[in-house]
Structures are given as structure tokens and as C-alpha cells.
Chain A
Amino acid sequence: MEQSTSETPQKTFTCQLCGLVSPYSYYGQKPPNTRAIVLLEECFVTKDPFTPDKEKFLVLGSTCSLCSLCVCVGSDCSLFYTKRFCMKCVNKHLDQFPHQVQAELAKKKQSSRAAIS
């Protein structure tokens, strides 16, 4: 797996909401060198560039479980709650999410609005 990825370095992940672009080295639920760790969704994964000497992974994003949009894990673009949901779908089905999530999103919306005005 690693062999093939290093030969094709041009695989890039692009968030279809915010446009974040980054190369990725693995797609799936079991990134290399993670031992007991398993991802609960198929993810675009890269080597964590912020710990250059260690084999740590970094999840960049995955596809929305509803609309299959490719989204990054940034809180402006997606949310994970047992499954990945893009922000569009979250907003569409906001009522089905637990109160905690709703409150959190409302709060975030408020603060970002405050920052704009």
C-alpha cells in the first residue's frame, strides 16, 4: 500500500465545500501503522505533517453519508455523529440531531455572525 502511494504522489483530496486541497496518501478505514486503531468511516488520510518524525496519521475528510459530497473534517464543512454528514445535509435534517448538537451549531452560527458584523 505504502509502496504504491509513494509512487503516485499526485492524489489530492479537495473539500467540495471549502475548497481545501491537500495531497492524501491513503483512503480507507485502516491507515498504515495504526495497530489497534480503526476508523469508523472510509477516510482520506495523510501522514500528519505536524509530527514530521513520527508515523502519525491525519484524517483530511470523507464522503457525506447522505449526499456523497466529499467534505473535509473541518467543523464548517462537516460533522460526524455515528456517520459523516456534510453541513448542507446537517442543516437540512437538523431536527433529527440531538439537542446538544443543535445547540452547538446555533452557538457557532451566532459567534460567526458576530464576527462578521
Chain B
Amino acid sequence: MDSDRRRDSRSWDWDSPQCRAQLDEIFFRQHDYIQAGSPEHKEFWAFFDRFQRFKTKKDMSGSGGARRKEDKEEGKDRGKTGKVDLGLPKEYDARYRINVSVCTRDIEERLGKSEHRSRQRSSGPGTQEISDCRLALLHFLDFSQRQSFGKLAKLRQEQKNLPIFQYRDRIVELVRSHPVVVVAGDTGCGKSTQVPQYLLSAGFNHIACTQPRRIACISLAKRVSFESLNQYGSKVGYQIRFETTRTPATKLLFLTEGLLLRQIQQDGTLSQYQVVIVDEVHERHLHCDFLLGVLRSLVAERPDLRLILMSATINIKLFSDYFSSAPVLQVPGRLFPIQVIYQPIPPEEQPSRSEKLDPRPYLRILQGIDQRYPPEERGDLLLFLSGVAEISTIQEACQIYATHTRRWIVLPLHSTLSSGPVFDIAPPGVRKCIISTNIAETSVTIDGVRFVVDSGKVKEMSFDPKAKMQRLQEFWISRASSEQRKGRAGRTGPGVCYRLYAESDYDAFAPYPVPEIHRVALDSLILQMKSMCLGDPLSFVFIDPPPAASIQTAVTYLKEQGALDNAGELTSIGRLLAQLPVDVVIGKMLVLGSLFNLVEPVLTVSAALSVQSPFLRSSQHNPDCATARQPLHSNQGDPFTLLSTFNAWVEVKGERGGGSRKWCRRRGLEEQRLYEMVNLRRQFKDLLRSHGLLESEHSAPSDGDRGQRRERLTERRKLHQLKRDHEQQEGSRRKVLRLAEGQDEELSSGSDTEEKGRGKKDKEGSEQNMDIQDVKFKLRHNVSKLQEAVSVSQDLSSRQQALLKLLLCRGLYPQLALPDEHNSTRKDSEQVFHTKNKQGVVIHPTSVFASDPEVLHVPEDDSREMGPDRQDSSRHQLLAFVTLLETNKPYLSNCVRVPALQALLLVANSVDSNADCTRLVVDGWLELELREPEEALKVLSTALTLRAEWERLLLAQLGQSTVGGPAGQGVSRRVMEKLSDGLVRFVLYTEVSYSLRRLTAFQTQNLYIGPQSESELSHSKAPDLNPLFPGAEVKPHPIKGGLRVTSFFTYNCLADSKDLYSECLRTFWSCPNCDLYMPLTPLERMQHEASCRPAGEQQQLEEGGKAGSSSVSSLTRVYHCDVCNEDLTLTPTEILKHKRQHMYSTK
């Protein structure tokens, strides 16, 4: 047939691109269903070739004869039966099987007319070619329809096969008739994807479904939207920290537990939802437990609200009972039989506490599988270990075995890895060996697992309130976890579970895991509870209440942080912190940063400290990485290193775009973390703006002219297209792993790509190289604007750096550590530090101070030995740190170094002094001894003045923000700059020699003189004891004794103190600002200094003081002079002057 046609139109060649292009003109024009150049168009021509070949083959096999014979039969049969005539054509043609037709007569006619005259010369398609092409197109359309319908039918079949399908009506019915319903079923029963769909199709609207993990929100939204054939389109969406696909039309929203809590914070009755589904309640995350508590009272308030708890079949009664015996619908799992083999690790292979795991028990299992099961019998292995370090130990050993046998592909799985490769398929005869943390227990489901190896161990974070320290410890798992792990082997067929412990161990396991609320610090929870006005946290009805001591610790901590006042109520900063979805310390930094001109670097640092470190530990010992990283390091501290790393990365983003991936790899950086930082940074900025702490961006002028805007628009359109292409490709791609997989560093790029169906392997490479993260980044951020913002923090002057450090330190306080006094004589690796509550902690090896500890030592040329345990210097330093986490040792991470005396005086909650202020005790654990009383007084009084001003401005700023007015107006720029100048000067140029040490236990016991008797106090009742700070009363401290000068400073309360007014303390002193010259006690002098300002400053105060509480008029007070027997309204200075008059006159 083909050859016939060639004879007819000699110049027609089906293989020629020109000929095909001419047919494209007819069938695949710009507005046609299939357009030339589109992927379907390519697919069509590939189909065409196959179709032609098939036809030729059929023609040659002589099916024509058969057709004739059958026609005869047909005719005969029809004659016999007297039934309805269907009117079917006599001659069979496959064409009749297709219910589609394509009309192109209009174009054909048009083409025909113009080409008719030149027909002889032209090589255009004849009617035969056109109809051949049309026929192929019809078959192609039919083929595509069949393919898609097949997928749909398969999908529906799968939904029907899910165990939960049978309970569809029952679930809807229960939800209609009960406010709270518990649906229990194990992973794989389909509850997470199906229950929301059942409710949607039953007519429920505005459904929220919470998930413990962000990634689950995205994948569930995608899956449900797909399963409902995008029928709901944008009506199924998700919302997570940085992303949302939510629109006003959204009917079903997947969101994180934390986010729903925030929404309750805004909208107490959650009126936007009709149904709330809380999924995975059995995981007992902190947020989830709290959410259940909040919802419990909400259900009573809103009888129309429907609440559905979904859980694995663990401890179901607990949930039902908590919601007054809510009905439980239990969906039986679909598990194949699993053989359990107990293989306890022999004593000689048990690892001791500090040692690495012995891989032998694990290797034996791999070997055993290889011996017992032929490689044709498919089935992968899933191995549960406690932590990342354990995974890499076992991975290493298994990899050697795998390389040797060529029957295994070893893949790690934990929360910081992209889980891509573990879902890919192994080539025939090869098994995947997935080594995972407990993440694969309930959250990540991998199909095709036949063998499970359970170490029986899990690492869990706990909080030690006594040491104020996080602890990552290894525990035996619970029986519930053990069963979950086992179940993973029986999802696709009968399986085997090897337990590396004895059956008696299993019996001794706890029945359920310890819920998070019993393990972790509750600061953020308590803060949130306070802001939601839930009353006393101790009386809140939790599903499983945390220990009272744990709540108490959190309340105390929040008080220390200044988020709660002494009565346990939110302070203005506390109210703001409760709105920020970050750690209290980070939130404090942000608020502090907004006051000064340091917003940009503070935003970056806060974001960086809120995500995991981008520095990969694996590349730490790679000398190339170390060299490349060097320029990013700052010996000021890890936050500064993170800051410069982020800035450099943004720079690279601007220059070379996708080149940043390589840049990161070379430096051993995990780029994902930087993307998280940039997103978080943006969120922080928006938060500060919405709370009026940051001016909104002046948009119009910086956006550039119209041309630039258009350019950006075109760019964005292109990026959107790239993103769409990528997403589509993701959907259709299925990877087959290579044997070498797992040995590569770059797991994600190591797979061969196999297209389902028609092959289009070429060009694949370039598309795969497209950096989708970069595309998303550019869609989300305006790079040039980001660069502008970043350049502000690029080359910080030493003054800015000092101020930034101070802000970080104030944010992180009381998380401070003191270097051990003998560190300078120790090896780098043996440097020891102490916190108030934990002695002997070390710096995490990833910190800059681990490789450069000398910068923390007191320089010798500056120090003076004052005895065996006293070293005076003006260069003592402390470390402010973000986390104290104990793994095998207690580690400090993310540290910044600060000058000790200055930092403590400016941020500490408790500073106590002796009579001449040469001995200071901070927070009851650090003792500073200054040599010169003169200097001591000066430093202390400067610090008090600065702090008062700082506090005043901060409150003004926060007060302003609650009103909602634009920021910056509460605090004038000039006043703010003056303060920052003062702070910087104090931090950088205070040259006072002092000693610094921890108090011994004995010293702390006998620290204070204690409350004094009335007679002793008679002096202090003298009315001339003016408050140093307007509004604050100087009163005797009820516990420590001495005088409470400010909320944080108590004068003369230390046990060795001399009497407050002993005359010998009076020394003659002349004030530099006024003409005062008289003998004064240290306290009197400080009081005078606080109120007597230089002439110029006094004026400023008068101008700027109107907004604040400290106007000049408030400095005056009523003073009763005993000599004149008169009430006088005077400022403190005037009082002193007045007294002086009497003093001289009496003499």
C-alpha cells in the first residue's frame, strides 16, 4: 500500500519533515486541539509511524480474504434471525470502532484552491495523504481516550479496593449525626485521602484537614484533587508556612496543626470551617494535643461544627473518652501475614554507649535473605534505626556488601533527606535496602517492602528543666511502634519482620510512645495559651496533662525572657511574641532589631537560626570545602557566619541564577536550607510589617520603569511555564534505580529516567538539569530587591557588628555560657564551658569556635594574675547560644561571643552589688570584681542610664505598634541613633579591668545580707532617695536586703557589703554637667547622674519626651525639706542643691 502511494505521488515522502509540516498546516494549526510543536503533536507522529507499520504488516498477512469470508457469513446470519436489524455496515472497518471524527474540509478546500493550479509542480499532500493522516489521527485520538479512561477506571477500582470504601456511607452518616467522630484505621486503609472526599461528595463544605507534617499537606492536596479529577479544581488546596493554594473557592484545605492553631488565635470560633478533620492524632505531637484541647471547648460552643479525629489503631479509647465517648469507626487494616523472627544481638556485638553500632547483626540479615530468597522474588527491605549517625554507620557497611554482591541498593531515609530515591524502583534481581529512622513508621509509606528489620530503638528529644537543656536520647520503642514497624512488611504481600531484640524485651516495652507534651519544653505552648486567653495553663483540660513542674518551668522561663510579667500576664513584647511562629528568643531578636536600623541583618540571622544548619557535616572534613568556606567564616560567632553565607548566596543568585547549586555544593552547603531561610526571612518581614514594627516598602519608585516591569513580567511568565513543565514531568516520570545508587553523593540526580508509554528520552537530560528550586525561588522573590536588602547587611561596620551582637545577646539571654578559666591551657578539642544550670558543656564541632577557640581566651597582654583564681582583664567574654543539646555530650550550638561585663549589665535580669559597686553578682551565678571603685561606679551608672533609655524606647515602639500606626513614629530617629551610639560606645570602649568567675555553691548560699530591720532601714526612708528612673521607687529588697534601685539592680545587698550610708563611702565629687560639688555616696552619685543631663540633652528630652513617659516635668517631685519644713516641687538635682545649701549653712 505504501509503495503504491509512492508511485502515485512520486514527490511525497512521509519521512520528510517538509511533507509532515504540510499536513500540520491542515490538522495541527495554532488553535487546533493538538498544536504543531506540542508534546502531543510529537506523540502523534511517533504513533503515525507505528500505525503505518502495523497497517503494512496487516495488509501483507492477507487479512483481506478473511474479510470477504466474514461478510458472507454476516449476510447469511442476518437473513436467518428475524430480530431487530442494528443496521451495521456490512464490511468491517476498524474506523467504525471510533466515536470521533475530524472535520478539516474548510482548510482542505482553501488549500485545494490555492494549490490546484500549481499541483503538478508542488509536492503538496494529495487527498490520499490527507485521508491517511486523518485516519491515523482518529486512531491516535481513540488511543489517547482509551489510555486516559483506562487510568480513570484503574483509579476508581483502587479507591473501591481501599478498606475504608465499605464504610463510606457509615462515615457520612456518623458525621451527620455526631459532633465528634473518631475514625481509626492503619496507614494504607485510605482514610486520609478518602474521608475528605466522602464528606465533599456528601455535600459538606469548608473542610479543614490538619496534618502533622507540611509535606503531607501538599501531597494530600495533590492526591485528593487528582482523585476527584480536579473536579473541585482550586477547591482542594493546602496551606503551610510559606505556601498556600487556598482561594475563596477552596472547600477542602489541608493545613498543618500549628497553622490551624494560629487561625484559632485570630478567629476564636473558627467560623470559616464547617468540618475540622484532625489526622494522625495518635502521633501525639505537642501541637496536636493542644489543638484537641482547644477544639474540645470549641465543639461545646459551636454545635454546628463537625470534628473528626483520624488515628491509627492505637489507644483509640483515649480519644473517644476525651470527647465524651465519641463514636469510633474502626476500619480493619489490610495486612498480609507477617512472620516475626526474634534475633537479639549477641552481647559481644552490643555497642557500648560511646561506640559505633556493630553492623554484623544487620549484615547477617542481608546475607540470610540472599540465601533464602531467590532474587526473582521481588521485595525490598526496610531497616529501622534510631538516628542519623546510626544510619550512616550501617549504610556504610551494607554498601560494601551491596557493591560486592550486586544484589542490593542501599538508601538512607531521614527527615533531612529528600525522600525521592526511596520511592523509585530497583532493577530486576536487585532489592532496595532502605535504612530509616522512625519516619518510615507512620509518616512515609514505601510500597514493595517485604522484609523489615527493627532495631527496637528510637531517639527522642526531651527537655531537662533542671539543666535547661534539650537532650536527644536513645530509648526502647513502645509495643505500638514495634507493631507499626512490623506492619510495614505486609502491605503488598506476606512479609518477614526481624526483631533485633528478645521476645521478653518486647513484652517489657511500654504500650505506647511517650507523647511529646511530656517530653519537651512548653514555653511556646504556654505563650500561645496565654495569648488565647485560655486561663491558667495548670487547669486546662489536656488529653494527657503535662507535669505541673513542666508548666511552671515554662512560666518562669517566659518571665525571665520578659514575655510574662510577675503576675504571669503577657507583657506587650510577650503579646507580640505569641503572634510570631518562632522560638521566643528568635522573636525577641526580631522585635529588638526593628527598633534599631538593623532590621535586614536581624531578619537574616533570625531566619538562619530557625532552620537547620546549611553546613553539611559530611563535608566538614573535606579540605576543598573547608577552603571554599573559609571566606564565609566569622570568628564573631556562628550567626555572623550564617549571615555572610546567606549574603554571599544571594549575591550568587543574582549573578548566575541556577549556578548557585554548584556554588553550594563546592562549599558543602545544603541549598535547601538557604531556600528555607529566604522564605522564612520574608515571612518575618511581613510579620514585623503587619505589627507596625517596620515601615511598608515604598513600592512604586524602586520597581523601576515600565520597561523593567514588563521585562520582569515576561521573566515571570517564563518561570511559571518552567514550573508547570516540571510538575507535569514529575507526574509522568518513573525512575529505575541504578545499581551504583547510594554510592553517589547526589542521590537525586543519579536515576535513569524511564518514560511510561511512548519514549521521548532525548532532551530529557537538559530538562532534568533545570533547577526547579531556583525557579520557585525566583517566582517567590524579587532577586534584585533581595540583593538591595542584603547589601545593607553585607559590610557591617564594627559599630554595627557590636550592636547586632548586643541585640542577639539580649534576644538569647539567659542562654549564656562562661568559658572555663583554664581553657587557655587546654587543647582545642577540650575547651569547656559552663552555663548557669549545667557545668562542663562543649562547643558543637560545627561552630566556628570549635575550630578557633583562642578568640575566646583572655589575651595575656591584657590580663593580670591577681592570685591563683583571679585574673583581671577588660577582655572577658561570654558566649550567647541558641541551643544546648545533649547527644553523647552536652553541646552548645550557634554561639556568638560578647564582652562579659557590658553584656551582663545591659541584659541581665538580676545585678546585685556591694556598697562601692566593686563587686557585682549577676543572676546569682556570675561574680565580677572591679578593681577601681571610681570606674565601677561609672560603668554601672552608664549601663543603668542606657538600659532605662533602651527600655523606654522599646516600650514606645511596641506601644505604637499596638495602636497600628506606622512604625518609627513612636521613636524618633534621632533619639534611636543616640541610644545606639551610646550602646555601641559602651560595648566597644569600656576599658575596665575586672575578674569574672562562677560562684561556688557555698557562696551562693550566703550571698545576700537579707532583709534589714526597721531601724537599719530608717536612713533609707529619707525622702532624698530619689528613684534613678522616674516612676520606679527605690525600696529595700524584701529578700536580698539592700536597696532595689531598678527591677534588675539591687544595691548593696551582697553579704560583704558595708553599711549603706557609712560616711567613709562619701567622697567629694564634682558633676561634669552642673556645678554640683559635694561628698556623695555611690548611690547618691548615681541618682544625680541619672537625672542631671548635659544642657543640650535636656532640651532634646523636652522635645521628644512628649510621647514617652519621661517628660521633664515628671522628673520633678514633691520634696519635703525638714529644715525649711516646707514641701518643694523640685528635680533630683535641685533637691541636692537645696540640701547643699543647708549643709553649708549648718557648718
Contact = CB atoms under 8 A, between A and B. Distances in A.
Q: Do the two chains bind?
A: yes
B231 A9 contact: yes
A99 B92 contact: yes
B1 interface: no
Q: Which residue of A9, A22, A81, A98 has the most chain B CB atoms within 10 A of its CB atom?
A: A98
Given A39-B99, A82-B88, A82-B96, A20 B74 contact: no
Interface string B1013-1035: 00000000000000000000000
Given A35-B32, A60-B149, A40 B101 contact: yes
Given A38-B103, A47-B230, A93-B84, A98 B92 contact: yes
A82 B83 CA distance: 19
B156 A81 contact: no
Contacts of B74: 96, 98-99
B434 to A, nearest CB: 29
Contact of A53 (B149, B228, B728): B728
Nearest to B107: A36
A37 interface: yes
Interface string A30-48: 0001111111110100111
Contact of A96 (B66, B88, B97, B102): B88
Interface size class of A (residues with CB under 8 A): 35 or more
B15 interface: no
B101 A101 contact: no
A98 B233 CA distance: 43
A50 B151 contact: yes
A38 B100 CA distance: 6
B153 interface: yes
A72 B3 CA distance: 40
Given A9-B231, A36-B103, A95 B81 contact: yes
A100 interface: yes
B232 interface: yes
Nearest to A11: B231
B230 to A, nearest CB: 5
A51 B147 CA distance: 12
**Residue from A38, A83, A96 with most neighbouring chain B CB atoms (10 Å):** A96
B88 A81 contact: yes
B152 A97 contact: no
Contacts of B103: 36, 38
Contact of B99 (A59, A74, A100): A59
Contacts of B727: 53
Contacts of B728: 51-53
Interface in B742-771: none
A37 B28 CA distance: 12
Nearest to B159: A21
B392 to A, nearest CB: 39
A46 B230 CA distance: 10
Nearest to B721: A53
A42 B789 CA distance: 60
Nearest to B73: A99
Contacts of B98: 40, 80
Q: Which of B91, B99, B731 has the most CB of A within 10 A?
A: B99
B145 interface: yes
Given A47-B230, A58-B148, A74 B33 contact: no
A49 B229 contact: yes
A21 B156 contact: yes
B145 A66 contact: no
A88 to B, nearest CB: 14
Interface of A: 6, 9, 20-23, 33-41, 43, 46-54, 56, 58-60, 62, 66, 72-74, 79-85, 93, 95-101
9 contacts: A36-B32, A36-B104, A53-B727, A62-B99, A66-B86, A80-B99, A82-B88, A93-B86, A99-B66
5 nearest A-B pairs in the assembled complex, by CB-CB distance = A99-B70, A98-B92, A49-B229, A23-B231, A95-B77
Interface of B: 27, 31-33, 40, 66, 69-71, 73-74, 77-78, 81, 83-86, 88-89, 91-92, 96-104, 141, 144-146, 148-149, 151-153, 156, 226, 228-233, 235, 724, 727-728, 731
